[in-house]
Chains A and B, each alone.
Chain A
């Protein structure tokens, strides 16, 4: 459905997109995950032909995307990172206005009502955007972007500065849109969100795609199979050295009486380590075992945390 090939975008000496390649299939919720400044928004802006790029090609629905591709734009809904609505229009007028940019009058009324219901803005129809809370404002922004029921919806960090309740509503709404048949591109630096809703993910940093795949595929790409955290009192260097030699352990840290072990995937890792601590008469308190997250994937690929 969307094909981006060798996309290069420079701002002077800064290379914002460095031979970026992406393939997005119809019906997917495709997550573009990366830290702030990694090139996600630039990629979206190039995809929408809002920015001129230096090199590469972008095709949507099998046709090249240009600033004049109005027939393509008709089937694309965009929810910008910054809320893009008119302060002097009411909630309903804003949704109606953005709907009118895509569809004719006959269908408009029904679509506007549906978008209002979808975003849960029934009680705020006549309010001006300035009177809305951050969460409601984001929901209005989304309603304006999806009101014309597009085939492709691009959401650029739609949950920034949103309270948990509104965030959940937004995420479940996005999944509902996908169920209704829209393909979705979702950019975020919140890995939990991406993990929760995206069927496929591309991890992006410094304008390059570092890895692409489903959550499981990405996790399988890395060494970490399990991260064990144990609150252990007074671990000495000989015990730590012994633990380092344990099978499957490839990383260990002990700070402020918290032992963190990263292990490759294997059975009975936790039992073996707890037995060792008991044998050595080392008291331990809370014990956690966690499967790898996208942050682990990002950490292992780039050597830094996703939120750095």
Chain B
């Protein structure tokens, strides 16, 4: 097993790089986890805008609307003069102006209501926000009126109200408050580290063994080429499984029982195992293409970072553009991340979810096999031209 031992000796030389990537992995995971917690706390905050209402109707309904809006926003006095209104809008003294025309109440009660004329900052989300509130008020008055309330009662109900608030909780499908568990976040970043460590370390080793002089020298030895290839393959698998084991140990160390008790743990393990296989295949392919040691780092970084960003390792998949998502379908990590989301967000799977999960596994296996075969074809061609 000399070839295997040599493989391991060179692997040991690259251990500092592996340790560095694991530290990066843990740091990224912890940072991501913290930023996620802060996001959740500050997810929602109601905004109060500076708005104005020009009431030319002076009816119960129009006053009710003014009072209703005043509950949520700062209502400021504005003269009914287009020039003055334009000035105040320009200097952002007011961000939204609603003009209630004369006879509005009459028209509204007659069911001939058309949209109220409003002036707002073009394209602003705050304008849309107030639009919704105006519509909410008018729709509620209509609903209450048709339900037997008088206009005064309905307006009073809307402006004074009971002050009751509805409590909203997310549907807890995964058992983690509707969000992915922390260890699933760790698994989200895992492919980057697996790819980086394995591609970096194994690319160097492949390069060393692919050196034409070394290879010819090895072919002169009494160990058969088949035996040498077998030992190299064994080396690849041992390094791959060691990295896979180590990376899967981290979630257990960091999150303990919550991770171990997850019924999906075997799926997480299998999913990451497939990433490991793809990393090995890719490392082999890169080792065939890269011919100089000083290029290894650059090539590995481009490939791993590129793939990680495209497939939603660093960025949530929902944020990715449609085009990028489509392109990512042709990369194995996309299917890993899809499966990881499926596992993170659902405690129980429907039949179609199981199908998606197994499809993801199958596609990853096919990717690993395809990459490995492509690499073998290139190796064969390379050796034929050298002979």
Contact = CB atoms under 8 A, between A and B. Distances in A.
A84 B208 contact: no
A67 B216 CA distance: 11
Interface of A is mostly: loop
A48 B216 CA distance: 10
A86 B222 contact: no
A100 B2 contact: yes
Contacts of B14: 88
Contacts of B225: 67
B387 interface: yes
Contact of B13 (A48, A82, A88): A88
A137 B98 CA distance: 87
Interface stretch (B4-12, B263-271, B297-305, B313-321): B4-12
Contacts of A48: 220
B115 interface: no
Interface of B is mostly: helix
B213 A82 contact: yes
B211 interface: yes
A142 interface: no
Contacts of A93: 6, 9
Contacts of A97: 2, 5-6, 9
Contacts of B219: 50, 67
Interface residues of B, number: 25
Interface string A91-103: 0010001101110
Given A51-B387, A87-B208, A102 B221 contact: yes
A144 B218 CA distance: 11
A68 interface: yes
A160 B146 CA distance: 104
A76 B220 contact: yes
A73 B222 contact: yes
A100 to B, nearest CB: 3
Given A83-B213, A97-B2, A78 B220 contact: yes
A71 interface: yes
Given A50-B216, A84-B216, A70 B2 contact: no
Contact of B221 (A68, A73, A85): A73
Contact of B213 (A80, A88, A89, A100): A80
A126 interface: no
Contacts of B234: none
Given A89-B9, A100-B2, A100-B5, A50 B221 contact: no
A50 B10 contact: no
Contacts of A55: none
Interface of A: 45, 48, 50-52, 67-68, 70-71, 73-74, 76, 78, 80, 82-89, 93, 97-98, 100-102, 144
B217 interface: yes
B48 interface: no
Nearest to A145: B217
Nearest to B216: A50
B122 to A, nearest CB: 63
Nearest to B1: A100
Of B204, B213, B217, B223, most A-chain CB atoms within 10 Å: B217
Contacts of B220: 48, 50, 73, 76, 78
Contact of B222 (A50, A74, A82, A85): A74
Given A51-B387, A88-B13, A68 B224 contact: yes
B254 interface: no
B23 interface: no
A89 B10 contact: yes
Nearest to B208: A86
Given A82-B213, A84-B213, A101 B10 contact: no
9 contacts: A48-B220, A51-B387, A70-B224, A80-B213, A84-B211, A89-B9, A89-B10, A93-B9, A101-B218
